[in-house]
Structure 1
Amino acid sequence: MIQVRPVATKADTRAFIDLAYRLNAGDPNWVAPLRSEVAETIDPRRNGWFSHAEGQLFLAEREGRVVGRISAHVDTLALTMPANRGFGAGCGQWGLFEAEDAETAAALIGTAETWLKNKGLTRALGPISLSIWEQPGLLTEGFDHPPTVMMGHNLPHYRDWIEAAGYRPAKELVTYDLDITGDFPPIIQRIVTAGERNARIRIRQVDKSKFEAEAAIILSILNDAWGDNWGFVPLTQPEIDDVGRKLKPIVFNDLIRIAEVDGEPVAFMITLPDLNEAIAPLGGHLFPFGWAKLLWWLRRPRARTMRVPLMGVVKRLQSSRMASQLAFMMIEYIRRDAVARYGASRGEIGWILDDNQGMIAIADAIESRINKRYTIFEKAL
């Protein structure tokens, strides 16, 4: 018989974290996250997202043995978002889902739903772990290769168990894979060259020594560019501080570009070397020697893959030719440096909403292909 109970003690928290390592140990493409990072994510005192959200972690046990886990949570900012863009009034979420079998999955999801209904919520989205800015969606396509930094990976049969609980797809997110060792198609090269001749355009590297100022510029563009997107929830200052602290070690000036037109910042592109390549051999542990290996890698990272997690152009330019021109220029400049300075051979763009026609057109133009698909499911409670 399955018993589901709230996480209440430090031992419970350790069991909650440990379960994912046990259940995914046999999957060669699962990358064990650093345990310290997981612990920080689920700790309300250390994750700025909890400044506008609350949640509960649950463990499932069979005969005293932990066989599953889930989180149930509600984001008060998400409740204020328009309902036609994903969240809205009455919408709660669950995530951090792991289960040994279908019976356990059903018990966990049912418990999460009960928690949400007791909060007065009428609709559930999941899995979202925990914020939409962290790891949204269940991997439903692309199990044959590891995820890149900050992307999720799960067992294939989880989809069947979620759908058996009455859930249907609400939104799909995709990532695109491309070879970056060669030149882009001639038409893209001509667009980049034309942009270089335009005196109004400047594509510059960020200056990490001015981290906060550069982050503020990017955040301003992001909020404007992404404000109408499905699932958008504005980042709060505590979250911004957390993101900055976590990402700063893998921020490199030449991998992040800001596009200016007539001196005004109007677009940005963030690229990260795939940290998963460095942490995969560590098994989730920094000690006793993992920290030294990771610090050495961070000093001069050599990464096969570069991930583009965020890219944006201000709304007023999004339907213009200049928007795609700026995007192609930033992509090309970063591509050159990624190959020459970091030894990269592969790029991954995403996640991208599956109906984001602008980004899909850019991905198609540089001859990339969908390599992973993530699905966010929904159910009326």
Structure 2
Amino acid sequence: MELREGDFEAFFAAPFEAYGENTPYVSPMKSDLRRFFTVGENPLFPAPGNFALFSVHRHGKTVGRISAHIHPASNALHKTNTAYFGYFDVADDAEAAKTLLNAAETWARQRGFDTIAGNFNLTAMQQIGVMTGGFEHTPYVDQVYSPPHIARLLADSGYEAYFPMRTFEVDLEKFNPLSILGPAQQEILSSPDWHFARVTRKEIPQRLAEARELLNSGFSDNPMFVPLTAEEFEFQAKELKWIIDPRITSVIHHEGKPAAIALVIPDLNPFIRATRSQMSWLTPWHFIVNLFRRKRALVVYASVRHDLHSKGVMSAMLVNLLPAMLAAGYKQVGITWVWDENKGSLRLMDYLGGKPLHRLHLFRKSL
């Protein structure tokens, strides 16, 4: 058994080696993964020493990986002293898992942290959690997938499951707009004070600026959320301007100001899987094929300005948006994750006929 630190090629290859060919897991594009862990390019890591990449090898074969990192803004805002692990992907191998987890724990302990938690890939506004149920369902892009043994190996290593979440899927062909069209929604849709902002290629930069504003306002009360700076949002949303299908993202304004957004992208997992998560001369061809075959989309996030919460704004948006998505050829839409204590979002899932896909938990351990 060999533990390596800083071997990016092995870190990228680990889930392919650990899970084999038939896994539902889909890796981020290699180029994206590399920039996530590039000092100075990712605003989360402005200087060396804020993260580490570990891989474990048996007889020369990569059998697992894990990252360890810090998020100072999160600790400062939420008054915690927590380090984070992410990208924990390993074969069903207790020794390999223990080696990786020990490496991440030692890294965190040496820096004075009293808790380690994950998966965070890399923040609460990116992929989070470890799957604990729903393994039979195919994940959408930006939805975490991990096989059943990952949660078991964490529990066997002394980790506690917490912060339960679910992902959801809405069947657009079964959605009935009348199910969420009440008096409040009708008033919004008929009032001249409200209007849907244009989303075209020309307007996308402006809409993305509004997306950050609405994200920071609407999510301000959510646990673990840390407001994104313009630099951080631009880094995370770098590819969105090319990925967004303008027909399926919606922004609504109230009295001329951004009020709510549903940021939606096509499900790119079939494209990413076809490329094996690497750029090549065939990548444009795979992208075009996926362009004509795509039937699934993902809500990256949906957010209503804080002062407009509980006024039916999101429901009013979805009355228009979901039928428009169906008209554009989409059949299903996925939701990244909803915390079990987020009663408002869970109620909305019920209204939309959302079907639970995956069960997720975060895992933590005292150091």
Q: TM-score, normalised by structure 1?
A: 0.88
Q: Secondary structure at the match of 2:234?
A: helix
Which residue is 2:138 aligned to?
A: 146
Deviation at 1:316, TM superposition (A): 2.0
Q: Secondary structure at the match of 1:103?
A: helix
Which residue is 1:23 aligned to?
A: 18
Which residue is 1:374 aligned to?
A: 360
Instruction: Check the 8 A contact 2:177/2:319 in 1, yes or no.
Output: no
Are residue 60 (structure 1) and residue 60 (structure 2) matched? no
Q: Percent identity?
A: 25
Does the C-alpha gap of structure 1 residues 347 and 178 become closer, same or farther in structure 2, counting only changes over 3 Å? same
Amino acid across the alignment from 1:55: F
Output the CA distance in 2 between the equivalents of 1:13 and 1:253: 35
Q: Which of the numbers 335, 345, 351 marks the counterpart of 1:349?
A: 335
Deviation at 1:339, TM superposition (A): 1.4
Output the CA distance in 1 between the equivalents of 2:40 and 2:46: 9
Output the CA distance in 1 between the equivalents of 2:158 and 2:60: 28
Amino acid across the alignment from 2:220: G
Deviation at 1:366, TM superposition (A): 1.4
Instruction: Check the 8 A contact 1:49/1:131 in 2, yes or no.
Output: no
Instruction: Check the 8 A contact 1:207/1:214 in 2, yes or no.
Output: no
Deviation at 1:112, TM superposition (A): 0.6
Deviation at 1:45, TM superposition (A): 4.4
Please show how residues 217-232 of structure 1 align to structure 2 within 5 Å. 217-232=210-225
Q: Which of the numbers 29, 34, 39 marks the counterpart of 1:34?
A: 29
Which residue is 2:272 aligned to?
A: 279
Amino acid across the alignment from 1:197: S
Q: TM-score, normalised by structure 2?
A: 0.91
Please show how residues 1-381 of structure 1 align to structure 2 within 5 Å. 2-7=1-6, 12-51=7-46, 54-83=50-79, 88=80, 90-100=81-91, 101-184=93-176, 186-191=178-183, 192-294=185-287, 296-297=288-289, 300-318=291-309, 320=310, 322=311, 324=312, 326-341=313-328, 343-381=329-367
Q: Secondary structure at the match of 1:157?
A: helix
Instruction: Check the 8 A contact 2:30/2:277 in 1, yes or no.
Output: yes
Deviation at 1:194, TM superposition (A): 4.3
Deviation sequence 1:29-81 (CA, Å, 0-9, x none): 22344322222223334433323881011122334443221111111111212
Does the C-alpha gap of structure 1 residues 163 and 180 become closer, same or farther in structure 2, counting only changes over 3 Å? same
Output the CA distance in 1 between the equivalents of 2:300 and 2:344: 16
Deviation at 1:114, TM superposition (A): 0.8
Instruction: Check the 8 A contact 1:69/1:108 in 2, yes or no.
Output: yes
Does the C-alpha gap of structure 1 residues 154 and 200 become closer, same or farther in structure 2, counting only changes over 3 Å? same
Output the CA distance in 2 between the equivalents of 1:283 and 1:187: 41
Output the CA distance in 1 between the equivalents of 2:321 and 2:289: 20
Instruction: Check the 8 A contact 1:173/1:352 in 2, yes or no.
Output: yes
Instruction: Check the 8 A contact 1:205/1:256 in 2, yes or no.
Output: no
Instruction: Check the 8 A contact 2:30/2:278 in 1, yes or no.
Output: yes
When structure 1 is superposed on structure 2, of 65-74 and 90-99 the one drifting more is 65-74
CA RMSD, 1 decimal: 2.2
When structure 1 is superposed on structure 2, of 183-192 and 285-294 the one drifting more is 183-192
